């Protein structure tokens, strides 16, 4: 059961809200049409996390309008991805956000205390992969996961990876972010006993084909337990890692 519905039922059980109040919360319109967007108000109930705003292609006024609509319905912690710096400045004048330029990502509201089952480890092949890694890290943190960053530990200097075996072997899920030939995912997949999410990046020379070489390498990994998201999709990796980090076995309490 997702966290939001579970919390609602626990509040009824504990007498903090009435059955009618809980019913009203569930019966509210599932979305609000504001002309240029239909804001999904039940995303948290269905998925356990609020709608995420994709910033590219939207005007600052549109982004602020969506944020205001979400806030009016009680959703105050929101992620905005792929937001350019000039957009962020305009949005912030209309609605307060915390902008992270390296990740091209903004956060509205506060980062919650981590409540996942463990730690999401994020490893990059090189420094050039950090922007995509930060998109993943901030996404996972905003959704309630504890994150550990292992940056610039690529296979060109394998000792850098091996220096972090404790973090790798105790993680609940690992995100590997790499361009070039994308070998880091296979190396870490062969060391870890947890799920590994591989993120190919568009970092590399001509024959890397904008990340396609890394994508194919990761898809063809011989290490078990490695799954792959799209090129430069740090957000998708961070979201998926957070879902894994909040799973429990049936019958067990979280």
* CA angle (95 as vertex; 38, 65 as ends), nearest 5: 20
| For range 47-56, the mean pLDDT | 80
| For range 143-167, the mean pLDDT | 90
- What are 210-227's pLDDT values in tens digits? 999 999 999 999 999 999
The Cα 72–Cα 56 span in angstroms is: 23
The Cα 235–Cα 138 span in angstroms is: 8
- What are 71-111's pLDDT values in tens digits? 887 787 899 999 999 999 999 999 999 999 999 999 998 88
Q: Tally helices (H) and strands (E) across the chain.
A: 11, 11
pLDDT at 45: 60
Contacts of 48 (CB under 8 A, 6+ apart): 2, 3, 4, 246
Give the start-to-end residue ranges of the domains of the chain. 3-108, 119-245
Return the CATH architecture of domain 119-245: 3-Layer(aba) Sandwich (3.40)
């Amino acid at each position: 059961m997702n966290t939001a519905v579970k919390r609602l039922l626990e509040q009824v059980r504990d007498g903090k809200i009435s059955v009618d109040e809980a019913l009203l919360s569930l019966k509210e319109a599932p979305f609000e049409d504001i002309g240029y967007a239909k804001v999904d108000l039940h995303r948290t109930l269905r998925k356990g996390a609020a709608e995420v705003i994709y910033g590219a292609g939207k005007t600052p006024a549109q982004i602020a309008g969506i944020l205001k609509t979400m806030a009016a319905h009680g959703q105050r912690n929101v992620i905005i991805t792929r937001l350019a710096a000039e957009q962020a400045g305009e949005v912030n004048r209309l609605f307060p956000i915390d902008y992270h330029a390296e990740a091209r990502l903004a956060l509205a509201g506060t980062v919650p205390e981590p409540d996942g089952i463990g730690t999401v480890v994020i490893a990059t092949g090189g420094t050039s992969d950090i922007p995509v890694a930060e998109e993943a890290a901030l996404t996972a943190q905003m959704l309630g996961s504890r994150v550990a960053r292992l940056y610039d530990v690529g296979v060109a200097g394998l000792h850098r990876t091996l220096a972090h075996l404790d973090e790798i072997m105790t993680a609940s899920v690992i995100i590997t972010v790499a361009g070039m030939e994308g070998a880091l995912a296979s190396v870490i997949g062969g060391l870890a006993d947890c799920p590994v999410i591989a993120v190919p990046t568009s970092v590399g020379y001509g024959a890397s084909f904008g990340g396609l070489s890394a994508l194919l390498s990761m898809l063809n990994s011989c290490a078990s337990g490695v799954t792959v998201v799209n090129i430069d999709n740090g957000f998708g990796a961070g979201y998926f890692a957070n879902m894994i980090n909040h799973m429990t076995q049936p019958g067990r309490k979280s």
